[in-house]
Structure 1
C-alpha cells in the first residue's frame, strides 16, 4: 500500500494537476502513516490534493483549517480556527480531534482514570451507553481543554468538561473558563477545594467501600495515597469491582461524586 501510494504520488507530480487519495490510513502501521503524511505534504506543495480519511492523525497533521468534515446531517469547516490551535493539533502526540468534531455531543475528561470509569458511570445513571445517545467521551488532558472548546464554539457543539479544581475552584474553573461557558458548553468540577482531584473526590464519598474492596497489604501509605500515585490502575480495579457481578460491589453501593452526576445530567438534558 505504501509503495503503491508513493509511486502514484511521484508519477502524479508530472502527469496530473489534481491528486485524489482515498483513506490512505488503510493497512499502514503508525510509523508508515507518518512517512505517508510527509509524502502527501510534499506532493501537495506542487498539486491540488484531496484526501478522504477517518484518521485523527491525518486530519490534524494536514491542518484542520484546510479540512471539510462530513457528518450525517451537515458539512462543516474550521477555516476560522486560530492558527495556533491548528498548529497545536498538528503536533499533539495523541488526539481525538476528528472523533470530537464528528460527534453530536461530547464529554471531555482530564485523564485515563476518568476515562476508564466514566462510561460505567454514564451507563448506570442513564441506563444506556453513551454512543446510543450520540455522546463521545474523550480524554484530552486539562491543558488541552481550551483547544477543543475553541472548536466547539465554531461548530456550536454541545460539550461538557469534567475536570479537577486543583485546590482553587474560583480561579481554575470559574475564571479560567468564563469565556467558554455558554448554552452549549459547561464545566463541572468538585466545588470543595479540599476535593482537589478525581481520586480524592471518589475517596471522599466512598472511603469505606474503597477501603473494604481495594485495600491490600502493599498500600502502606493508605488507599487514597495509592489511588493518587496509580490513577489508571486504581480506576481499572474499581471498574472490575463494578462489573464482576458481585451485588456487594456494584454501583448501587457506590456514590458517584455529585459534580460528575450533574455533568452527565447536563449533557443528556
Structure 2
C-alpha cells in the first residue's frame, strides 16, 4: 500500500503531503482543488507515464506550479539567484510486501529507509549552458524551457526504472472522458484479456492466422487476378493484396467486446464507464494493486450508480482505491470515514467521525453531505420553512443578495439529525449556524445535547425565546402581529386562527411570506444567525 504521497511543484501542488488509508480513499473538493491532479500524480509515480505516454515525451511547461514559476522569474528579474523550479513525486510504500524490498532505500526527500518510487523532473546537467543562455536572452518569455529538463524515474534504492515495478500494477479509470466513438482503449482490452488463458490465446492466434490466409486465398483471389493482369503497367513484378500476417494484425486488435449484442464502442457512456470500473476492480491483486477512479457517477442513473458502488465495495479486496467524486451518494454510501478533502491543493485533515454517524449517513445516502463538506460557511436550518425564511431575511438585509452569493450555503435538515450534521461540521472545522425550534424548552437544553460540537464564534445554535412561541410560526406572529401576517396568507376558513393555519401549512405559509412584497420583521434569533455567518 501507498503509505505517504509527497508532491512538490507539480501543477496545483506546491508542497503537498498526504497519508492515505490502506483501503478506500474518497477524494473530494471543489473545482480546481487538485483531485484529478492527485490521481494523475499517483499514476505518474507508479508508471512513469501520463495518458499512456512516457513523462519525458509529454513534458509540458504548465506541469510546473505556476506560482513557483512566477516567483522564480520575478527573482531573476530582481537580480537574485534562485534554484530553477522542479517537480518531485514520491510514493512511500508499505514494507509488508516482500516483493518490493528491492525498491527500498533512503533515496527520498525524507531520507527515510523505506520502499518506494519517485519521479524527479529537473534541469539536465547536459543542457546547463543552454539553460543559462535561455535565461540570459532578452525578452524571453517567463516559461520553463522543458527541452533542457530531464525526467528521472527511480526507486528509493536509487536504481533507474525503465518499466513499472512488479506488484505495482495500477488501473486508472476516468469516466469523464469516455467517448463512444473512441472505441475500445488499450487498457480495457488488456483487462478483458485477463480472462483468456495462455493456451486459449495461442489457439485463437492460430485460428485467426488461418482465417486471414483463407481470405487471401479465396475472397481476394479474383481481385489479385485483375491486379496481376494490369501488373506490367504498374511494376516489373506481380502486385497482389494479401491479409496482413504481421504482429500488428493480431487477433487482440480485431476482437471487440459486446455489451448485450451491441459493440462496446457503441454502448452508452454509462455502461462503458461502469464496465471499465468493474473490470479494473475485478483484476487480481497480482495484476492491479491500485485502482484510481475519476468521478464514477458520470453518465450513470441513480440505479446504475447504486449497482456500480456495490460492485466497487464487493471487489475492492486488498487493493488500495482512490476515488474522486462530486456525488454525495458516493461519499455517503462508501463511508465518510474514508473522506480525503482537498482545497486549493492542500489536504484537510479532520478528527475521526464516530462509527454511528458514518453508518447513519450510509443509510441516509441521498442526503447532500457534500454541501457540508465543501461549504466555507453553512446554515443548518431545521426544515424547509426555516430555510426559506432565513434566505428572505438575508436578502432583505443585503439588497436582495442571496446567501449563496455571499458564500453562505443554507441547508434544510428536514428528516436529518442536526446533531449528526454538527458532528461532521466539527470534524471538518466548518463555521456553522444551526437554526431550530425551541419546542417549549430553553435554548440551553438543546445546546447541551450537542455541546461537544459547538464552539463560540465557530459553531453555534440559534433558538427562539420560548416566551415568544414554541416554533417558527408563533415567533413570526409575535414579531409582526396577527393581522399583518393574516393579510399575507390565503386563509379562507374564518374559523381557523392564523397560528392554526400556519402550523397546518408550514411550507405554504413560508412560501407566501417569502414571495410577498410586504416588509416583514423576522424573529430575533434568525437575525442573530445572519450576523453570525456574515
**Fold similarity call, TM over 0.5:** yes
Bigger fraction of residues in helix:
1
Give the 3-state SS of the residue equivalent to 2:392 in structure 1: helix
Note if 1:153 corresponds to 2:426.
Answer: yes
Task: Evaluate the alpha carbon distance shift between residue 73 and residue 106 of structure 1 in structure 2; reply closer, same or farther with a 3 A threshold.
Answer: farther
481, 489, 492: which is aligned to 1:214? 489
Task: Evaluate the alpha carbon distance shift between residue 76 and residue 165 of structure 1 in structure 2; reply closer, same or farther with a 3 A threshold.
Answer: same
Deviations 1:26-75 (A, max 9, x none): 23222222222212212223533221111111111111111211223742
Query: Structure 1 CA distance, aligned partners of 2:377 and 2:445?
Result: 24
Question: In the TM superposition, what are the counterparts of 1:128-147 in structure 2 within 5 Å?
Answer: 128-141=401-414, 144-147=417-420
Partner of 2:238: none
392, 396, 418: which is aligned to 1:120? 392
Partner of 2:257: none
Which stretch shows the higher mean deviation, 107-116 or 168-177? Answer: 168-177
61, 83, 101: which is aligned to 2:355? 83
Give the 3-state SS of the residue equivalent to 2:323 in structure 1: strand
Which stretch shows the higher mean deviation, 211-220 or 46-55? Answer: 211-220
497, 501, 505: which is aligned to 1:230? 505
User: Do the aligned residues in 1 keep the contact of 2:333 with 2:365 (CA within 8 Å)?
Assistant: no
Which stretch shows the higher mean deviation, 126-135 or 193-202? Answer: 126-135
Note if 1:186 corresponds to 2:460.
Answer: yes
Partner of 2:378: 106
Partner of 2:63: none
Task: Evaluate the alpha carbon distance shift between residue 78 and residue 36 of structure 1 in structure 2; reply closer, same or farther with a 3 A threshold.
Answer: farther
C-alpha RMSD of matched pairs (Å): 2.2
Task: Evaluate the alpha carbon distance shift between residue 191 and residue 104 of structure 1 in structure 2; reply closer, same or farther with a 3 A threshold.
Answer: same
Partner of 2:297: 25
User: Do the aligned residues in 1 keep the contact of 2:382 with 2:413 (CA within 8 Å)?
Assistant: yes
Task: Evaluate the alpha carbon distance shift between residue 79 and residue 45 of structure 1 in structure 2; reply closer, same or farther with a 3 A threshold.
Answer: farther
Q: From the CA coordinates, give the structure whose radius of gyration is larger.
A: 2
Query: Structure 2 CA distance, aligned partners of 1:2 and 1:193?
Result: 56
343, 348, 370: which is aligned to 1:71? 343
Partner of 1:53: 325
Note if 1:2 corresponds to 2:276.
Answer: no
1:130: Cα distance to partner?
1.6
Query: Structure 2 CA distance, aligned partners of 1:94 and 1:237?
Result: 28
Deviations 1:135-157 (A, max 9, x none): 11111148611112112222222
User: Do the aligned residues in 2 keep the contact of 1:55 with 1:98 (CA within 8 Å)?
Assistant: yes
Q: Which runs of 5 or more residues in structure 2 are unaligned?
A: 1-268
Partner of 2:436: 163
Bigger fraction of residues in strand:
2
Note if 1:201 corresponds to 2:467.
Answer: no
Q: Which runs of 5 or more residues in structure 1 are unaligned?
A: 243-248
Give the 3-state SS of the residue equivalent to 2:515 in structure 1: helix
Note if 1:259 corresponds to 2:532.
Answer: no
Give the 3-state SS of the residue equivalent to 1:179 in structure 2: helix
1:236: Cα distance to partner?
1.3
User: Do the aligned residues in 2 keep the contact of 1:61 with 1:89 (CA within 8 Å)?
Assistant: yes
Give the 3-state SS of the residue equivalent to 2:453 in structure 1: coil
1:260: Cα distance to partner?
0.3
Runs of 4+ in 1 over 6 A off after TM superposition: none
1:219: Cα distance to partner?
6.2
1:159: Cα distance to partner?
0.8
